[in-house]
Structure 1
Amino acid sequence: MVRLLVLLAGLWATSLLAAPLGRPAPDAGATTPRHDVLVIAAPQAVPEPGEIVRDCPECPELVVVPSGDFDMGGRDTPFEAPPHKVTIATPFAIARRETTFAEWDACVADGDCKYRPDDHGWGRGPQPVIDVSWEDAKVFVAWLTRKTGRAYRLPSEAEWEYAARAGTTSKYWWGKDVGKGYANCDGCADTSLHKTMPGGSFRPNGFGLYDTAGNAYEWVEDCWNDNYSKAPKDGSAWTTGQCRQRVLRGGSFANKPNLATSSARFRYDIDVRYYANGFRVARDLK
C-alpha cells in the first residue's frame, strides 16, 4: 500500500499554541492522533486509523477514526435517552475541523454552491462557515464528492458522538466539568466571546478533532426523533422520523455549557439558516 507522507512543519506546534490553559482529564479510552503527518493516500490506498488525509488543496483535513463500541446518549434530558450501545463496525474519516468559510467559498467559486453566507463581521477564511441550512450542507458534500471522486457525506449522529467522545465516557471529552478555556460557548470561559473562533483555536480531543463542543452547531445526517428508543445500533444514520427536521450536535458559541456536552442534541428545519449553525463532513474510506 503506497502512501506519500508529507511532513507538515509546525502543525503539532500550532496545535500546542492553540491549547487552553489547563489540561484535559486523562482518559484511558482516548487515542493519540498523528498531528505531525499528512497522509495523502494513493488512489487504491486505504488510510489507517489516526492518519490525516486531505483529498485536494481546497478539501478539509480528515482524520481516520477507528472502529469500536460506545455507549451513546445520556440521561440529562429525555432527548438523550435511553443510553444505548452502538457499534461502529468499520473505520471512517471525519473532518478535524468544522467546515470553514474558505472551504465553502471554494465551492462557491466552482459554481456548485450558489449561496454565499454572511460572516457577520467575524471574518471568513479559517472561521467555521455559519448561516447554512442542512440542505446547504448537502450541496457542499455533493461538491466534494464530485471534485474528489470520494464518497463525502454528513456524519451520522452516532458517528458524530463517537468521534466527539474519542473514547471518553464523561460529560465533556475533557472531563465531567466544563472548566474554563476548553471550548467556545456562553459560560466556557470567564468572558464569553459571543462569536465564532477560527477552527483549531482550542485543544483537540483524543481523536484529533477540534471544536466538537461549542463554536458552531453541527448538522448531521439523521432525521429528528424525540428519543433513542428505536435508534439504530450500527452507527448508521436514522432516516425515519421527523425528517423535515434534522439533528444538530455540539452546541455553539451562543449556547450554555449544558448544550455543548458530548451527548446533547438539538434540531432545526432542513431549509432554515441560522447564524450559529454549521457542519463538519465525513467520508467513507473505500
Structure 2
Amino acid sequence: MLNFIRMGILVLVVFFLSGCPSEGTAKPDGDIDSLASEMVGEVIQNLVFIEGGHFKMGDFGVIQNGRWLPYFPPSADEDVAHAVELSSFYLSKYEVSWREWDLYRLSVGKPIFFQGLDGKEERAAFDQDADSLYYINKPARVEWQEAKDFCLWVGQLTGHSFELPTSAQWEFAARNRGSKAWLYPTHDGQPTPNDQQKHMQGCDAWTGICPVGQRYPPNPLGLYDMAGNAKEWVEDWFSPTYYRESEGVKNPTGPSEGKEKVLRSTGLGSLDFSFTITKAPLIPQDGILVRAGFRCAVQSSEPIR
C-alpha cells in the first residue's frame, strides 16, 4: 500500500514538473542552422555587463542587542555571510527559453524530448501552446550537464568564455551588485508575493512558471526573473560548510568536487529571496534527474561586442 501511495505521488510530481507534450507545435520558418546562428546573436545582445566589486555574500543578517541574527534562520549554517571579491563579468538578462533550447538541440543533431515516467520521450519542437510547460517562451528546465553544454556550445560558436554563472556571481547580480539594500532579488529589493502574477496569461497554475521576462520587472541591472520563475543552475558544487571556508576569496567557484549542484532562486514558495540556496543531486532519484532553468555568463571583464 505504501509503495502504491509513493508511486501515486511520483506520478503527480512528474506530471506537474514535466507537463505533457503538446499538440500545438509549429516548425520555424527557415534553416535550423541559420536560425540557431541568429539566436546566438540574440544571446550576445542580451548580455548585461556587471562591474565587479566586493560584497558580503550570504545572509549578512542584522545586529540586535549586540548579537548577530540571520534573516533566514533555517538556512543560517549554509548561508554564513563572508566577504567575496568578484571580477567583472557578463550575465544573460533572460533565462534560456524552450525556443532557444530546441534550436540548440536540433542544430547539434540531438532529439527533442520531455521527461516521462519511463525516462525521456521525444516530443515535437517549438511548442506553441501557451498552457504547455514546453511553450517556446517559457524557461527551459533541463539537467545540470545539459545546461552547461548549452552555454559551452554558445561559447564555441562565439569564441567567448560562456559558462554557467557561479553562485557568487548569481547572488551579486541578483542583489544589484551585492547591495545590502537588496535583501530580495526583485526590482526594488523588497519581497514580492510569488503568486502576484501567477495567473497571468501563459503562466502555469501549478508551478507558477511564466514566459521568460514577463512575470516581474527587471532588477536595476536589467536582469529578469532573478526572483521567481524557474530555479536556476549555477556552476558550483554544493557543500554545507563552503560559506564558512571561503572568507575573502576572489572569484569563488565553490568546492572542487561534490555530489550535488547548487540551484539559485526559490522558484516555488511564498517569497523569493536571494540568500537561500537549494541543491540537487547529479545521480538519478527514482530514475529521474532534477531539472531546472538556467542562464549563461561570460567570464570576461573585456567588451565582447
1:81 aligns to 2:92 (yes or no): no
Q: Which of residues 271, 281, 286 in structure 2 aligns to 1:269?
A: 281
Does the 8 A contact of 1:112 with 1:143 survive in 2? Answer: no
The whole-number CA distance in structure 2 between the counterparts of 1:213 and 1:155 is 16
Q: 1:263 to 1:226 in 2, by over 3 A?
A: same
1:71 match: secondary structure:
strand
Deviations 1:20-63 (A, max 9, x none): xxxxxxxxxxxxxxxxxxxxxxxxxxxxxxxxxx8524667211
Q: 1:217 to 1:82 in 2, by over 3 A?
A: same
For 2:260, give the aligned amino acid. Answer: Q
Does the 8 A contact of 1:99 with 1:279 survive in 2? Answer: yes
The whole-number CA distance in structure 1 between the counterparts of 2:212 and 2:198 is 20
1:67 aligns to 2:65 (yes or no): no
What is residue 105 of structure 1 aligned with on the other side? 102
Identity %: 27
1:93 aligns to 2:81 (yes or no): no
1:198 aligns to 2:182 (yes or no): no
Q: How does 1:143-182 map to 2 (within 5 A)?
A: 143-167=153-177, 168-169=179-180, 170-174=182-186, 177-180=190-193
Moved over 3 A (4+): 57-60, 112-120, 173-177, 187-193, 271-275
| 1:283, distance to aligned residue in structure 2 (A) | 0.9
1:144 match: secondary structure:
helix
The whole-number CA distance in structure 1 between the counterparts of 2:152 and 2:231 is 20
1:249 aligns to 2:261 (yes or no): no
1:217 aligns to 2:231 (yes or no): yes
What is residue 5 of structure 2 aligned with on the other side? none
The whole-number CA distance in structure 2 between the counterparts of 1:58 and 1:172 is 26
The whole-number CA distance in structure 2 between the counterparts of 1:271 and 1:115 is 22
2:250 match: secondary structure:
coil
Does the 8 A contact of 2:79 with 2:276 survive in 1? Answer: no
Q: 1:207 to 1:100 in 2, by over 3 A?
A: same
1:122 match: secondary structure:
coil
Does the 8 A contact of 2:43 with 2:92 survive in 1? Answer: no
Deviations 1:200-249 (A, max 9, x none): 112000111001111000000101011411136212311325x2210000
Q: 1:219 to 1:124 in 2, by over 3 A?
A: same
Does the 8 A contact of 2:239 with 2:255 survive in 1? Answer: no
The whole-number CA distance in structure 2 between the counterparts of 1:239 and 1:114 is 33
Between Structure 1 and Structure 2, which shows a larger proportion of helix residues? Answer: 2
Q: Which of residues 244, 250, 270 in structure 2 aligns to 1:229?
A: 244
What is residue 56 of structure 1 aligned with on the other side? 41
| 1:122, distance to aligned residue in structure 2 (A) | 3.1
| 1:125, distance to aligned residue in structure 2 (A) | 2.0
| Root-mean-square deviation (Å) | 2.7
Structure 1, gaps ≥5 residues long: 1-53
Between the two proteins, the alignment pairs up a number of residues equal to 221
Larger radius of gyration: 2
Q: How does 1:94-133 map to 2 (within 5 A)?
A: 94-111=91-108, 113-114=110-111, 116-117=113-114, 121-130=132-141, 132-133=142-143
Does the 8 A contact of 2:102 with 2:112 survive in 1? Answer: no
1:279 match: secondary structure:
coil
For 1:149, give the aligned amino acid. Answer: G
The whole-number CA distance in structure 2 between the counterparts of 1:66 and 1:217 is 24
What is residue 27 of structure 1 aligned with on the other side? none
1:136 aligns to 2:146 (yes or no): yes
The whole-number CA distance in structure 2 between the counterparts of 1:64 and 1:278 is 21
For 2:253, give the aligned amino acid. Answer: A
What is residue 23 of structure 1 aligned with on the other side? none
**TM-score, with normalisation over the residues of structure 2?**
0.65
